Amino acid sequence: MGKLKHQGWSKRVERNILSVYVRASETDRAEGLHWYSHAHGIAQVMADKHGVSLVQSIGVIAALSPSLNWGLNVLQANEIIQLYQSGKRGEDIPTLGTYGRRNIIKVLRILAGEHPLDVLGGNKVRSFYANLLYPRSSVCVTIDRHAKGLAIGSISPRGATAVKDSIVTNPEYAYYSKHYVKLAELLGLIPNQLQAICWVTWRRLQGDVSEEKVPF
């Protein structure tokens, strides 16, 4: 979209985000409004099931989240926590997720007691963690390829432009987050609610019907 107006405001980005928001169906809006609260509940169930803290459960989910759909994200986090709690360590923990062992190492550090924020890297992953942990109060915005794609008016968040659209630089992250935060305030929403409503709506409009079911 050209050079970012780092210190300014883009009416184009504003229009793009709002154009998706106003196309939300009642189902989209209901799902988006409560998406992070529901995800928080899933993480709590996982924590209770395996005897780990909620912070650890959410930290594991966040560490595995890059490039995973939500259903698979939860399934794999559940599998690794279960294996860890059964005594498995090191190479006995399978390489799940999409980025090899590096994210598994992060998971193991979290389960061993390190705080997730001392382990997790990247704006998207750390924001996702915050939104899952504090769904009703977090001011963070999870800028993934969908959030960026709809903000710039990308024709599709998948296909040939997917790789380009999925890359969000640090300046871009601050830039797009600013727009979501301000528009959420004007709409009387929490920033993560606006992002989630738009995320759900955008995926539906783009025909993204990838599996999102969770095991509990």
Q: What is the pLDDT of residues 168-216, one digit of tens each?
A: 899 999 999 999 999 999 999 999 999 999 999 998 998 875 656 554 4
CA nearest to 35, candidates 182, 210, 186, 214: 214
- Tracing tokens 């399934």 back to the chain, one arrives at 75
- What confidence tens digit (pLDDT) does each residue in 13-26 have? 999 999 999 999 99
Share of the chain above pLDDT 70, in %: 88
pLDDT at residue 5, as a whole number: 54
Residue 87 identity (one-letter amino acid): G
| CA–CA separation, 4 and 79 (whole Å) | 41
Which 8-state DSSP code applies to residue 98?
S
As a whole number of angstroms, the distance between CA 202 and CA 50 comes to: 34
**How far, in Å, CA of 19 to CA of 11, rounded?**
12
DSSP class of residue 116 equals: G
Token duo for residue 137: 């109060």
